[in-house]
């Protein structure tokens, strides 16, 4: 049964959020600026990632952008301009950025629920980092990506080097960062930068349907799967084997596992409760 959508107050019209069928759809809403990050949008995005990531009413997060872009990254027009705020020291700037990174892509990567990015168009710079910090990426046929940083004389932030390297390997990550080349949707699919491509007009319906299926799945199992997958990035095989054993035994004790077994025997769809 489809439940009516719940609109969440993000504190700004530059970011929209609604929850329906246990899916939190978070939409960057600056279409005139290709959904570039801003002093209003970015703090709101941080809050929504934190709130939706910890809410019992949310089983999966879907992040997308209004119009024909996902996120152009930082607002280049605002870079290098004069600010009325007191000038910070170098250390203060570094510490500020560290906090901002950890509470955005760092927090998104740490969410123990499925996270999906739906790219209706370009994802560039920090926008690409946000997409890569999600578990899965779907894209429209007209979407493309670009690291973008080299074009504006910046080295990269929000985890772009680590995230890219994990997805495409070190050689390709270096090429994409150094060149800031535009990579079309078909090439993104070939490289594994996106998981699936859809015609522009059905991207969101397909993305929402996929998110709904995950959001109503066995939450504890999915959380432990994410832990296993994260371990696989950093730990040796035998350590991962041991951790998998611990987590499988733990998930075998859940009500969702018992429900899944009953549903299999009774040839019906399981009704998971997240416990």
**Per-residue pLDDT at 78:** 62
Domains in the chain, number: 2
- Based on the domain organization, do 194 and 230 belong to the same domain? no
User: Does the pLDDT value for residue 1 go beyond 90?
Assistant: no
Nearest alpha-carbon partner for 118 in 225, 224, 23, 14 = 23
83: in domain:
yes
- Based on the domain organization, do 57 and 191 belong to the same domain? yes
Nearest alpha-carbon partner for 158 in 123, 182, 187 = 123
- Based on the domain organization, do 56 and 110 belong to the same domain? yes
Strand 144-146: give its sheet, edge to edge: 123-124, 144-146, 183-184
The two structure tokens encoding residue 111: 């969410």
What distance in Å separates the CA atoms of residue 196 and residue 209, rounded to the nearest whole number? 14
φ, ψ for residue 64, nearest 5 deg: -150, -175
User: Does the pLDDT value for residue 79 go beyond 90?
Assistant: no
pLDDT, one tens digit per residue, over 7-40 is: 999 999 999 999 999 999 999 999 999 999 999 9
Find residue 205's DSSP bridge partners: none
What distance in Å separates the CA atoms of residue 169 and residue 181, rounded to the nearest whole number? 16
For residue 69, the domain's CATH number is: 3.90.226.10
- Based on the domain organization, do 78 and 208 belong to the same domain? yes
What distance in Å separates the CA atoms of residue 218 and residue 50, rounded to the nearest whole number? 21
What distance in Å separates the CA atoms of residue 5 and residue 166, rounded to the nearest whole number? 35
Confidence of residue 259 (pLDDT cuts 50, 70, 90): very high
82: in domain:
yes
Per this entry, what is the length of the chain? 275
**Per-residue pLDDT at 3:** 64
């Amino acid at each position: 049964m489809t439940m009516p959508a719940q609109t969440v107050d993000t504190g700004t019209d530059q970011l929209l959020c609604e929850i329906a069928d246990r899916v939190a759809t978070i939409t960057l809403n600056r279409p005139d600026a290709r959904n570039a990050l801003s002093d209003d949008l970015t703090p709101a995005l941080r809050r929504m990632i934190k709130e939706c990531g910890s809410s019992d009413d949310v089983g999966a997060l879907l992040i997308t952008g209004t119009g024909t872009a996902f996120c152009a990254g930082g607002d280049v027009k605002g870079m290098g301009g004069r600010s009325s705020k007191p000038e910070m020291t170098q250390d203060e700037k570094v510490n500020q950025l560290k906090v901002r990174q950890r509470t955005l892509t760092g927090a998104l990567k740490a969410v123990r629920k499925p996270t999906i990015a739906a790219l209706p168009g370009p994802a560039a710079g920090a926008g690409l980092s946000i997409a890569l910090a999600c578990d899965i990426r779907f894209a429209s046929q007209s979407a493309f990506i670009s690291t973008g940083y080299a074009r504006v004389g910046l080295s990269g932030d929000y985890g772009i080097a680590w995230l890219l390297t994990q997805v495409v390997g070190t050689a390709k990550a270096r090429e994409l960062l150094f060149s800031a080349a535009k990579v079309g949707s078909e090439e993104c699919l070939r490289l594994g930068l996106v998981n699936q491509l859809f015609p522009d007009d059905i991207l969101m319906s397909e993305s929402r349907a996929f998110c709904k299926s995950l959001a109503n799945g066995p939450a504890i199992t999915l959380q432990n799967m994410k832990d296993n997958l994260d371990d696989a990035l950093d730990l040796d095989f035998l350590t991962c084997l041991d951790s998998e054993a611990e987590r499988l035994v733990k998930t075998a004790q859940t009500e969702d596992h018992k429900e899944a077994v009953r549903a299999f025997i009774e040839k019906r769809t399981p009704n998971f409760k997240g416990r």
